[in-house]
Amino acid sequence: MSHIVKTFNNFKSRYRYSLILLKQLVITDFKLRYKGSALGYVWTLLRPLALFAILYVVFVHFLKIGSSTPHYAVYLLVGVILWNYFVEVTNNGLSAIVGKGDLLRKLSFPRYAVVVAGSLSALINLSINLVVVGLFMIINGVSLTFEALWIFPLIVELFIFGLGIAFLLSALYVRFRDINYIWEVVLQAGFYATPILYPISFVVTASPIIAKIMLLNPVAQIIQDVRASIITPETITVSSLFHNPFASLIPLAIVLAITSISIIYFKKRSPNFAEEI
């Protein structure tokens, strides 16, 4: 026990400055985000809810999609909120280093803190939005089980994946400003290639192979697993589609590989950020 306490104290002492800086960056980022806005932090809820409302009317009432999916309103809302979180994390990360250029040139501090701060700020927004999901679940009569606890490791997986992409994009954007436009196109394509608006069962019926490829995307895997854990176990997941419980390790391996490569690249490039911005 004393060894654990000693290790924790050493860690706290070593990274004390970084933790204080990270805390201040997160607070500043969250405060400045809606500065000057009449509604302020309310936009944290209004933005995803407005998008959800539009998509629900179009896809349910006009296109008649999702009528066979239990609690489709919550199903759709979960997909929208988790996807928006991924978009926010990666977009925050992309401009993090360049946006703090003046600060990087004046002060010496760990460069990774800037990227992590943007990810934590987005995580606060996600936490608020998940409360709204909980309210929608109550209104729609969704029953909670112990399976719902899986949402916590799944959110951790999404956080790690988003942060990994953010590290890569932030380092690339310092040298290649076209990354901004390329990533915008990637996100647009990814939105429609991820089963957010439509049940993945539609794709399975058309092409099981394409459906399997789509679910190997970590974001799609996480969204489906969250839906399966908190809405209905009938949701198609990587494990059920591949008929193998270990198949879910493939997206997890992709997350770890991309995050590791991104961190290595970021650490390699970070000493030159101040000169290159």
Lowest mean pLDDT among 3-12, 49-58, 116-125, 225-234: 3-12
CA-CA-CA-CA dihedral for 260, 269, 165, 263, to nearest 10: 20
Quick check: 20 pLDDT over 60? yes
Quick check: 247 pLDDT over 70? yes
Q: What pLDDT is stored for residue 228 in this prediction? A: 94
Nearest to residue 174, comparing CAs of 85, 265, 257?
265
User: Whole-structure pTM over 0.75, yes or no?
Assistant: yes
Query: What is the DSSP code string of 64-112?
Result: --STTSTTHHHHHHHHHHHHHHHHHHHHHHHHHHHHTHHHHHH----TH
99-111 residue pLDDT tens:
877 777 766 667 8
212-234 residue pLDDT tens:
999 999 999 999 999 999 998 88
Question: What residues contact 263, with CB distance under 8 A and at least 6 apart?
Answer: 164, 167
| Alpha-carbon gap, residue 88 to 130, rounded angstroms | 15
Span between the terminal Cα atoms of the chain, in Å: 46
Tell me the pLDDT band of 153, cut-offs 50, 70 and 90. very high
Q: What pLDDT is stored for residue 108 in this prediction? A: 66
Question: What residues contact 28, with CB distance under 8 A and at least 6 apart?
Answer: none
